[in-house]
Structures are given as structure tokens and as C-alpha cells.
Amino acid sequence: MNLPDSLLPMPWTVTAHLLYGLVLAVALWRAPWKRLGEAPLLHVYLGTTVAVLVLWQLQAGVLPGLNFHILGAALFTLMFGWPLAMVASSLVLLAVTTAGAGGWQAYSINALLMGVLPATVSWLVYRAVYRWLPRHLFVYIFACGYFGAALAMAATGLVSAGVFALSGVYPLEELLQHYLPYYLLMVFPEAILTGSFVALLAVYRPEWIWTYDEAATLRR
């Protein structure tokens, strides 16, 4: 979305700052920093962050705040877990905002919509798959990689539209006509990109994707 400043009313912006600050504090506290420091995982983490930053530059839009791009939050979550996905998304958004593609006042709401929300949805899908479905490589790839990323992207679009409508930024009719139909098309490239990378990593570099338990899967 990359919302500019002053698009949302001040109460929404202040609430977003408080909520995002709480989420980021929890993420920083729970992040496995010691494991991340092991070579070459830190380089993989930083490289993935830069790659997602490049993907965020490939965007299109129709109105201020109504733009479309790959999120990569589901990929971050499956590779490094929820806490480090929060940190990586924050770093990507920091770089994007510094470059002028978003507003500093809207940083927190952007982080909630493009980082916290899709990463949380992806993490919940992963936990549900881990608990209720068989430990199988194809189940992990399709349920967590493809379906989880698609659901995360769809949830981001729907919640964003709800925020715009409830805050009075754009009327619901305009969102239904000029935003949601195009945004939901982004579900497919997000799912394909995430699922494909998850499949490659699970096969060739399983140590780079922390949510994939290779030993348990192969035993079964």
C-alpha cells in the first residue's frame, strides 16, 4: 500500500503507532538472535531482505495509497519465523519510506498492513498445518507455501479496503470497483513466488527455511 502522510485521520495513525510499537517490541524480544548469528544464516536473512525490497519497487497504483506489489511477508515467515519476519518487514519499509515511497506518519499503519497482518496470517496457517495435517513435503509446500501466501495476500487487501472505507478515506463503492478486483489478482503471483521459493529451499537448502522439519518429514 505505501500510504502517504495525512491520508488517514489522526486517531487511526496514533492507534497504529501504539499497536505497531507493541508488536515490534514483542518481535524483538522473541526473535532468535543467537541462531540468526550463525553463518551463513545472517547473510541469507539480509539477502532475502534486499530481494524483497527490490520486489517492493515493482509496483503499480490507481490512487494515493492504492498500489500493488509483492509483499514477501509469507516467505519471510516461513524462512525465519514470525518475530524475524516482523523485523525484516520493518527494515524493508524503513528503506522504502526513506526513499520517499511512503510517509513517516503512516509508517506504522503501513507496517501493520503490509508486514504484521500477512506474516501473522501466514504463521497461523503454518501452525494449523503443522498441527492438523500430515508431516509431508508436498503438504508443507502447497499448504504453507502456496495457500498460506495466497491467504495472507488476500487478507491484506480485504483489511486494507476495510480500513480505507471505515476511516472515510475512500468510499466503499470506489474500493470495490477500482481497488479490490485488481488487488486480489496479486494473490496469484504472491502464491506462486512464495510457493516456488519454499519448494526450492525445502529441497536444496532446508537449513535456510526454519519452519520446515526435514528430519520429521523424511522419517514419515
Is the pLDDT at 195 greater than 60, yes or no? Answer: yes
Q: Is the pTM here over 0.85, yes or no?
A: yes
CA-to-CA distance for 115 and 92, rounded, in angstroms?
9
Query: Does pLDDT of 217 surpass 80?
Result: no
Residue 51 and residue 103 in contact, taking contact as beta carbons nearer than 8 Å: no
Percent of the chain with pLDDT over 70: 94
Q: Provide the residue count of the chain.
A: 220
Measure the CA–CA gap between 174 and 50, rounded to whole angstroms.
Answer: 34
| Beta strand residue intervals within the chain, DSSP E | 60-63, 66-68
Task: Identify whether 204 is part of a domain.
Answer: yes
Judged against a pLDDT cut of 60, whether residue 219 lies above it is answered with: no
Mean pLDDT, residues 142-147: 96
Could you list the residue range(s) of the whole structural domain that residue 40 is in? 10-219
> Could you tell me the three cell numbers for 124?
497461523
The domain total for the chain is 1
In the chain, pLDDT over 90 holds for what percent of residues?
Answer: 57
Span 64-92, pLDDT tens digits: 767 788 999 999 999 999 999 999 999 99
Q: In 3D, which of 166, 13, 168, 1 has the Cα closest to residue 104?
A: 13
Q: What CATH number is attached to the domain comprising 143?
A: 1.10.1760.20
